[in-house]
Amino acid sequence: MKHNIDYSLYLVTNREMCEGRNFLEIISEAIRGGVTVVQLREKSMDTCEFLRNALSIKKLLSLSDIPLIINDRIDIALAASADGVHIGQNDMPLEIARRILGDDFIIGVSVNDIDSAVAAEKGGADYIAVSPIWSTPTKTDTPHEIGLSMTAKIVNAVKIPVVGIGNIKYNNCAKVLETGCAGIAVVSAIMAAENPYLASTELKKAIKGYI
């Protein structure tokens, strides 16, 4: 599963955006619409709930051979037999995460400058997420937006896939892909959409031709 990952349409979950709608149904509709990777990122879930959701999403994704990435929680990733984890600069160090998880797990790392991108690649990351390209209310713990110019510089500085994230929507995703990113990661563009399936299909059409 680790090789030949399609990062083109990468969904990062946020249950708080569901507004009473069924969390798993939104993810299921997003999968049906063309999402290629799902990251379970839920800071407010306790461990038991996090694991229950991870197991349910893993079951959904296994039907479509789509990888499940767990944000930060290596214990949950192992317990749910997820395909990988995503870690930030202030999470568990990449070297230790790799030692615990082994070579078969996908490990992604969030970066916001060239030095951290190069370090992540040297440290064995499988992909990096450049964040945030544009400021976003869904992640308040990130630095100021880095913009498209820095994103392009980071893409050119590494050989591993780069995914752009940060207030990416249908009308600006092409600009991100023009920097050379291997994909776009979205949160509200799908999770908050009235029709997650339609939102996913529209994004899929928008990125077609770039990847």
139 tagged catalytic = yes
**Residue 110 catalytic?**
yes
Mean pLDDT of the 207-211 span: 85
Percent of the chain with pLDDT strictly greater than 70? 95
Q: How far apart (Å, rounded) are the C-alpha atoms in residues 120 and 108?
A: 9
User: Annotated catalytic residue: which of 58, 73, 98, 139?
Assistant: 139
3 lies in some domain: no
In a domain, 96, yes or no: yes
Q: How far apart are CA 61 and CA 116, in angstroms?
A: 31
Q: Is the pLDDT of residue 179 over 80?
A: yes
The count of domains in the chain is 1
Give the pLDDT band (50/70/90) at residue 89: very high
85 lies in which domain range? Answer: 9-207
CATH number of the structural domain spanning residue 78: 3.20.20.70
- Tell me the per-residue pLDDT of 113-145, one tens digit each, with 9 for 90 and over: 999 999 999 999 999 999 999 987 655 555 689
> What gap in Å lies between CA 163 and CA 151, rounded to an integer?
9
Residue 15 lies in a domain: yes
- The closest alpha carbon to 35, from 209, 202, 151, 164, belongs to 202
- Flag whether 80 is in a domain: yes
Specify if 2 maps to a domain. Answer: no
- In the set 41, 58, 73, 98, the catalytic residue is 41
Domain assignment of residue 192, yes or no: yes
Asked if residue 31 is part of any domain, the answer here is: yes
> Is 91 contained in some domain?
yes
